[in-house]
Amino acid sequence: MKLKHKKIACFLALPHHTRFFIPLREEIKREGGEISFIVPLSDYPFERDLIKRNLSFRYFTDYMTEHVRRKVQEAHIALADIWKETVYKWDGFGRWSLFKQGWFFDSLVEEYFCMEKYIEVEKPDMFIAHHECNRWGQIIGDLARKKGVPFVTFQEGDYYNDYIGFVVHTEYSDVDLLWGNKTKEVLKEYQCSDDKMFLIGNTHIDSAIKTYGCSEAVLKLKKELSIPHDKKVILFLVDIKYGGIADREVWTQFLKGLDQLGQEAVLLFKWHPSVFQGAYEKIEAMFKEIFPSAVLYYMYDPYKLIAVSDYCVTLGKTTLAVEALAFGKPLFALPTSDTLDDYYVNMGIAQTAFPPGNWSNLLNTVRNGVPPEVTEKVDQYLKEYFYKLDGKSVERAIEVMGTIFDTRSGRIKPKRLKLTEAIAGRISVIVPSGSDPEALLATMTSLAEKVQWSDWEVVIVVNDEEMKKFLPALSGDVRIVEAKEDRLPFLYNRGAEQATGDRLVFMKPGVLYLKGDGLSDAIRDGVAGVPIRNVDMTPYCLGIAFDFNAAPYRVTTEGLAPNDRRQNPEFVGGGMIGVGRALFELIGGFDEGIADHLSEVDFCLSAREKDHPPRYLPECLGVLFKETFTPISGDEVSDSDESWKRRVRFFAKWVGRLPKDENFIHFAKELLKV
C-alpha cells in the first residue's frame, strides 16, 4: 500500500468535473491514504458537487488568521508598484478593465497566503489538481514548488479549443497525467514539457462504462427513467453556447423532422451544467410547448443518459461527445453555434446533422447502421484519444503517485558501486558499445587520433553480443566489460567500476572527441562538459539549461547576450561528461533509476548539491557523428514497460529543487502575439 498514511490535498478546477477524482478518491482510501478537498471561496460554486456528494472540503479562506491578514496587507503594498510596471509589458493585460485587474489582484494575494497557511497547518504529502491553468492552480503550483510538495495534475476535459492557458499546463506539475496521446500533442504545441506528460487514460470513463455499460444496468436505468425497453433512445448533448439560446424559432427549426421518429424513439436532452439555471428553466418551458415529448435534464448524471442511449447528437463541442464514443455510441454533430466549422465531422468521427433540422444521416443510420468508414475512423480516434479503455486508469494514476512517494522516501536503494583501485594521473574514458558498430568505431578513432593525455585508457562496456565481433579492430589500451542491460546510467557505472583512472570521462558511442584542452584539469576534483556540435558545426548541445517548465533541455542557440543565463550554462552533457573519481564515488555514480536522457543533468544536480557545480568548457569540442541511445518515449504508464518510471523518478527526486526560467514572456512569445 504505497499511499498508506499519505495525506493528499485535492483541488477541483470545475464542480461538474469532480467525477474525474471520485474513483481516484476511493482507490486512495483503499490504499490507506487520505484525500482532502480544498476549494476557493468564489462567485463560481466550486463546492457544489462536493456538497451534493456529501463530501467534506475546506475553503482557502478557512486558513485566514490575523498573521495571514497582516502578510496580505504587506504584500499588497509591496506588489502594487510592481504590478503597475508589469501590466504595461504585454498588450494583453490592457484588455482587462481596471476593476477586473484590481479584483483579480486582491483575490490572488489573499488566496496565496491562505494557501501557504493551509500547507503549514495541514502538511499535505502531495497536491493533485485537474490542472494548473487557472489562478488557483498557479498558486498551489508555486507554493508546492517552494515547500517541496509533489504536484500531480491531470487532464480536465476534451481540449478541443485553442486556449493560451494551456501554456502553463506543466509549469509547476511534477507529472501531468493525460487521457491519451492526442491531448499530449495538443499540449506540446503550447510548449508543455514532453518529459512531464504521461498517458494513463480517463479516470472516470472506465468506471462509468463498468458501472452503466452492461445490458442489465441499461435495463435498470431505462426503468428508472421510465423509458420503454423496446424504444430507441436519442440523446442530445447541448454545449454551453447552444445551452443559452432561448430563441423559439431556433429550437423549432432544430426539432423539425424529429417527429418522424416519434413512435420508435425517445428524445433526451442533456444541458451543460454551466448554463445559468434561469436560462435553462426558460428553455425547458419552451420545449414543453413546441416538442412536449422531449425530456430535458440539467443536473442528472450524464453517463446514465449516455448508457441508455442508442445514438448521440452533440450540439457544439463538449467532453461528453468523445466519452459517448467510448461507450460505443454513434455520434452526430452540429458545429458550435458561432461557427460553421464542425470539429467532430471534420475528424471523421461523427456524421453531420447540419444545418439544423437535417436528420437524414441520423434516420439513415437508425435504419441501416453506421457507415463502415465512420466506424473505422472512430476506432482509430479512440486509440489516440484514450490511452486504454481497460478499466485500469485509476490503478495507473495510483502507480504513478506511489512511484513518487517511493522515490522520495528512499525505498528505492541505489546499487553500491565497487570501484577498482585508481592509478594517479590516469584518465579513463568509458564508452558503452551500443548496437551501431559505425558509431562506436567513429568514437574510438577520434580518441586515438585526438587525445593528447599522457596516461589514459578506454573502457568499452559491451551491451550487445553482436558488437563483440567488431572489437578486434580496436587498438590501444582498451578494457572490455560485458553487461546485459542497455540503460546508459547502468552501463556508465559498470564501466566506472572497472576503470583505473582517477578521472573519468563518459562518452556515448557516436560522439567524436576533437579538442579537450583543459578538460583533464577541470575534472580533477569536479564535473565538466564540452560543447557538442553536429557534423556541419551547428550546435547540438552547448550545455544544458532549464526552461519555464523547470524541465531540462539542450542549449542550441549561439550568439546570446552576455547576461543570458544560457551563455554560461549551469549544467553540461549531450553525450560527453567528465568527473573526478572522488566526486563520482561521493555522489554514488549515475542514478540507475533515471531515464537515459536525464542521467547527465541528474548527475550534475547531485554534484552541485555536493558543492561542485559543473563547469562548461567552451574552448573544448565534441562532434555528434551519429545519435545513439535515443530517448525512449516512456510516456505510457504500463506494467509491461516501466521506462515511464525513470522519468517520474527524476522529477520526484528533485521536487522543488530544479532551476526554473521565470521569463514567461520570452518562453511564450510566439503564443502571446495579439
Digit-coded pLDDT (tens) for 373-386: 999 999 999 999 99
Q: Domain 208-385 in CATH: superfamily?
A: Glycogen Phosphorylase B; (3.40.50.2000)
> What is the per-residue pLDDT for 475?
67
The answer on pLDDT for 566 being more than 70 is no
Assess contact for 37 and 150: CB atoms under 8 A.
Answer: no
Instruction: Average the pLDDT over 638-647 and give the result.
Output: 89
Check for a shared fold between 208-385 and 423-631: no
User: What per-residue string of b and e applies to 130-139 under the rule 16 or more CB within 10 Å gives b?
Assistant: bbbbbebbbb
CATH architecture of 423-631: Alpha-Beta Complex (3.90)
Average pLDDT, the chain: 92
Please state, as a whole number, how many other Cβ atoms lie within 10 Å of the Cβ of residue 435: 16
> What is the per-residue pLDDT for 493?
98
Instruction: Average the pLDDT over 389-397 and give the result.
Output: 94
> What is the per-residue pLDDT for 580?
98
> What is the per-residue pLDDT for 651?
98
Domain boundaries, the chain: 7-63+118-202+392-408+663-667, 208-385, 423-631
Angle between helix 205-212 and helix 215-224 axes, rounded to 10 deg: 80
Reported confidence tier of residue 413, pLDDT bands at 50, 70, 90: low
Q: What three-state secondary structure class fits 384?
A: helix
> What is the per-residue pLDDT for 497?
97
Taking CA atoms, 165 is separated from 160, 247, 668, 671, in Å, by: 13, 32, 11, 10
Instruction: Average the pLDDT over 358-363 and give the result.
Output: 94
pTM above 0.75, yes or no: yes
Better-scored residue on pLDDT, 172 or 17? 172
- Tell whether the torsion through CA atoms of 228, 234, 240 and 242 is positive or negative: negative
Instruction: Average the pLDDT over 285-291 and give the result.
Output: 95
> What is the per-residue pLDDT for 567?
61
> What is the per-residue pLDDT for 161?
82
| Most confident residue range from 45-49, 157-161, 189-193, 637-641 | 189-193
Q: Which of 11-15, 153-157, 405-409 has the lowest mean pLDDT?
A: 11-15
Reported confidence tier of residue 104, pLDDT bands at 50, 70, 90: confident
Reported confidence tier of residue 472, pLDDT bands at 50, 70, 90: confident
pLDDT single digits (tens) 21-62: 999 999 999 999 999 999 998 767 788 888 988 999 999 999
Assess contact for 205 and 326: CB atoms under 8 A.
Answer: yes
The answer on pLDDT for 371 being more than 60 is yes
d(CA 507, CA 576) in angstroms, rounded, equals 5
Q: Which of 61-65, 203-207, 285-289 has the lowest mean pLDDT?
A: 203-207
Instruction: Average the pLDDT over 4-30 and give the result.
Output: 90
The percentage of residues in the chain with a pLDDT greater than 70, rounded to a whole number, is: 97
Instruction: Average the pLDDT over 494-500 and give the result.
Output: 97
CATH architecture of 7-63+118-202+392-408+663-667: 3-Layer(aba) Sandwich (3.40)
> What is the per-residue pLDDT for 565?
58
- Per DSSP (E only), the strands in 453-543 are 456-462, 478-482, 501-507, 511-515, 527-529, 532-534, 539-541
